[in-house]
Structure 1
């Protein structure tokens, strides 16, 4: 999966602001035996020249690092990125060092620069800056990615718990129980066999909620089985005022989907739209372009409904945290559609996997 994810770019301004002057102070002392014995003013020209050198090396290596990361943004491209990063960085450092050396010789900034040992030390300085600079950015990036991965995993757990809580609240709330029990009470004396069916389907809905509480995804076949039980309960209650058509080809039944996502979308459609014999609500569940579409005709209720408004947002957030394609919501004057991506055929008992191709920030 090569989807691009938003990521924060770490701020290196403080490191550059402090690191370049500090290194510029240390390099003349370590490599060129400079000291403050003759006073700071005597040391100042060497420190300024060191700042120029280190600033050029650091900024050049930094620019190359971010450009190669931008060109090869995914973890699967790490080998190519490292190869080009080293090749371009070494080429730049060598070229910049030689050019600065030639310039200094021409301007006779350092009369002793013709000495072989002095020249070797100057080139060693450039390589040292490269060795210090690139690991700093690389380690900072991967540490940031690790933090983001941990935060996303924690966020996904919270979203999962939130989703379960919302669904349990929506199913166990007094309105749902009151309506279900009223429907059951009316069925028992007149249609006892249907009443038994109603209780079985109600039990299946609750059992499914309990079964999938630890799963991040479920097979579409399992979700549809529970959805049909939920549809049965709604159909008994609303009769001809509600029409639900489910058309999913068998080839997609092993694909995975977020648990309770279809039930939540149908519940939202029933909650927010008018249902009557003269204005029936039509809901379709079907496959289009390898995505599950839930679409209903739009006939919004005028009065406010008892809703948290978190259902659809919860589904969108959970898909995003799974590293999936986004959930599409399409609203027209006549219909409301939600398009859910399918999530492959991996085991529904395993935790979500952070996509292999995570881009650089």
Structure 2
């Protein structure tokens, strides 16, 4: 099968090798040309032209024969299964083929002569030199073709590895996204239970907003990225649910310019950060939880809240959820997308996350 490399070699490589072969023989032993009467006089140019044509034709025969032998060996002896044996057989076969071809070419030129040309010792020396350089040319073709083959295999393997890496990353992204559904539903059903118990008249309102949020979650979870505008709409709906539940114990503000709304980030990122803040802090009407969503640096969105860690059996909960949902989930999704990672800052009184916004 003609590969782009084979086509290039036929059009460019073979003629160059033919000329190189002729010039090498000429400069190695210029005396053989000087002593031959055919290379002097008014008709000398015809002899040089015949030599060049013969060199080009010989190079063409060598390259085509080499390609044919290599194709047959590809069918009979694979590089993958028998690399050493394949290299040895290819080396010997191409060398023998080059010697035979050059002898046949010499005999053909002799046969075309009328009367038959009688070779001198000088001619035979030139022929032996031509055979040596022809064999080297065959070996060069062998090296070039073998290098091209292994480069092609390396490139194919690299592309395949990259494809598998992307598929693996996509599978991991899908697995991470799939964690969000049960987590989100579980938390909000608990919230709904509290609303029904405490303010049943607001239950219908809460269910309506919950359905709007859940619809947005279902629509976005299959997407690797969503716009900031979509995330903010979902965050506003979710904040409504939280404010209904916690009343004066919960406050949230959003301060993001409209010019940023076309930027992108992984879906449900803000919702996860809001959940994280609520889950790991204790707050009341006298000590409310304040959450601020704002643009503070170029290409970054900051979500911050005051820290009032919730104690669990006398030990404060960490800001990273051990189950992997929350900040760890967000960090993994940015990592698998090959993007900058979120920056987490924590002090005694404040916790903030800076999210990279993507173009």
- Give the TM-score of the pair, scaled to structure 1: 0.59
Q: Distance in 1 between matches of 2:286 and 2:198?
A: 23
| Contact 1:219–1:254, Cα closer than 8 Å, also in 2 | yes
Instruction: Determine which structure has more spread, i.e. the larger CA radius of gyration.
Output: 2
Offset of residue 161 of structure 1: 4.3
| Contact 2:194–2:245, Cα closer than 8 Å, also in 1 | no
Which of 9, 17, 23 does residue 87 from structure 2 map onto? 23
| 2:312 aligned counterpart, secondary structure | coil
Pairing 1:225-264 to 2, within 5 Å after superposition: 225-264=233-272
Paired position in structure 1 for 2:133: 119
How many corresponding residue pairs? Answer: 248
Instruction: Sort the Cα spacing of 1:330 and 1:119 in 2 relative to 1 into closer, same or farther, 3 A.
Output: farther
Offset of residue 180 of structure 1: 2.0
Paired position in structure 1 for 2:193: 181
Offset of residue 312 of structure 1: 2.3
Instruction: Sort the Cα spacing of 1:171 and 1:145 in 2 relative to 1 into closer, same or farther, 3 A.
Output: same
- Output one character per residue of 1:294-326: Cα deviation in whole Å (capped at 9) or x when no partner: 222333323176862333222222223333333
Paired position in structure 1 for 2:154: 140
- Output one character per residue of 1:79-115: Cα deviation in whole Å (capped at 9) or x when no partner: xxxxxxxxxxxxxxxxxxxxxxxxxxxxxxxx99971
| 1:216 aligned counterpart, secondary structure | coil
| 2:214 aligned counterpart, secondary structure | helix
Paired position in structure 2 for 1:201: 209
CA RMSD of aligned residues (A): 3.3
Q: Distance in 2 between matches of 1:172 and 1:225?
A: 18
| Contact 2:94–2:138, Cα closer than 8 Å, also in 1 | no
Offset of residue 336 of structure 1: 2.7
Pairing 1:168-317 to 2, within 5 Å after superposition: 168-173=181-186, 176-188=188-200, 192=201, 196-287=204-295, 288-303=297-312, 308-317=323-332
| Contact 2:302–2:352, Cα closer than 8 Å, also in 1 | yes
Q: Distance in 1 between matches of 2:273 and 2:126?
A: 79
| Contact 1:112–1:118, Cα closer than 8 Å, also in 2 | no
Offset of residue 118 of structure 1: 0.6
Instruction: Sort the Cα spacing of 1:20 and 1:297 in 2 relative to 1 into closer, same or farther, 3 A.
Output: farther
**Structure 2 unmatched runs, 5+:** 1-78, 99-124
- Give the TM-score of the pair, scaled to structure 2: 0.59
Offset of residue 132 of structure 1: 1.2
| Contact 1:241–1:277, Cα closer than 8 Å, also in 2 | yes
- Output one character per residue of 1:243-263: Cα deviation in whole Å (capped at 9) or x when no partner: 222111101112222211110
Pairing 1:59-74 to 2, within 5 Å after superposition: none
Q: Distance in 2 between matches of 1:123 and 1:308?
A: 65
| Contact 2:273–2:303, Cα closer than 8 Å, also in 1 | yes
Offset of residue 242 of structure 1: 2.4
